[in-house]
Amino acid sequence: MGPRGTEQALNTLARGGRLVENGVVGMAIVVFVEVMLFAGFISAFIIVRNSTPPGLWPPPDQPRLPVATTAFNTAMLLASGVALFLAQRAFGRRGHRAAARRMGVALLLGGFFVVFQGVEWVRLIGQGLTLTSSQLGAFFYTIVGAHALHATAAIVAVGNQWRAMREGRLSPSAFGAGQLFWYFVVLMWPVIYWQVYL
Amino acid sequence: MRRILPFLLLLALPDVAQACAVCGAAVDRNKSAFVGTTILLSLLPLAMLGAGLWWVGRHRNLSEEFADREAGVPVRGQPTGGGKE
């Protein structure tokens, strides 16, 4: 939280409000659990990768993962996080219409990320990388699929909030919870990209 | 003595007995992966909890300072605005 966010929190406290909204606390607990889920997935992946003899990872008979195009897609997802951050700032300074516009940009970028992933998956399945073709395939679809599922859930949730924001009836508690989940999806992805793709 | 002898012989072979069969992986890279991921999975929840507690503590302190300032109580380290020093 930046100085302005701190100032807002202190003003809220001074008015007898809560330091953290209930929705944000609930979402923080969810995110805590989800981070541990992905940490478990990635730990298992690292151990399996390091247990193979040198030169046999990734499996020679399996297609290579699209590193460059996914880097571009990663940039899109990070940009969506920035757009949602700007929406939060606009929410406090310029009103709900400006915030809704930035939320719309975040949603478009997040939607692009998920669709782009789907296109990549179709290509990889066509090249022979499936859930049962190798350990790489099993881990790839489990980890990346779990993330895509979370990204889709985040898009649905923030999409609903975007509608509420446009009508000026979005509560700060709900907005904070949605933001927290979106930031989790955005910040988890570079870790997955680093460990699974590189 | 006959009863103790097998245990003494076991003590002479400490490398054979592993507390955890999986942790005794033959590949060094795998061993270090086990150590690294164990550290990650142990410290990550503590780090997240610690970060949350730190954030709450920091804002509680700031809120106390804010409340003092609102009430006109001099804040430590800041000028009192004309009061007798």
pLDDT tens readout for residues A178-190: 999 999 999 999 9
Domain that holds residue A170: 40-47+66-197
Q: Is residue A35 part of a domain?
A: no
Task: Identify the residue with better confidence: B62 or B16.
Answer: B62
Q: Is residue A14 part of a domain?
A: no
Q: Is residue A105 part of a domain?
A: yes
Which residues lie below 8 Å from residue A135, measured CB to CB, with a gap of 6+? Answer: A48, A59
Nearest CA in chain B to A43: B37
pLDDT tens figures, A27-76:
999 999 999 999 999 999 999 998 888 888 899 999 999 999 999 999 99
Residues of chain A positioned with their CB less than 8 A from the CB of B55? 1
Residues of chain A positioned with their CB less than 8 A from the CB of B63? 9-10, 13-14, 19
Q: What's the predicted TM-score (pTM) here?
A: 0.79
Q: Is residue A179 part of a domain?
A: yes
Q: Is residue A20 part of a domain?
A: no
Per-chain mean pLDDT for chain A: 90
Which residues lie below 8 Å from residue B4, measured CB to CB, with a gap of 6+? Answer: none
How does residue A174 score in pLDDT terms, banded at 50, 70 and 90?
very high
Give the distance, in angstroms, between the CA of residue A40 and the centroid of all CA atoms in the same chain: 17
Domain count, chain A: 1
pLDDT tens figures, B28-68:
788 888 889 999 999 999 999 999 999 888 877 777 776 77
| pLDDT greater than 70 at residue A10 | no
- How far from A112 is each of A74, A119, A155, CA to CA, in Å? 11, 11, 11
Q: Is residue A102 part of a domain?
A: yes
User: What is the per-residue burial (b if ≥16 Cβ within 10 Å, else e) of A179-193?
Assistant: bbbbebbbebbeebb
Evaluate whether A161 touches A170 at the Cβ level (below 8 Å).
yes
Residues A52 and A20: their CA atoms lie apart, in Å, by 46
Q: What is the pLDDT of residue B83?
A: 42
Q: Is residue A12 part of a domain?
A: no
Alpha-carbon torsion B27, B28, B29, B32, what sign?
A: positive
CATH of the domain at A193: 1.20.120.80
Contact A39 B27 (CB under 8 A): no
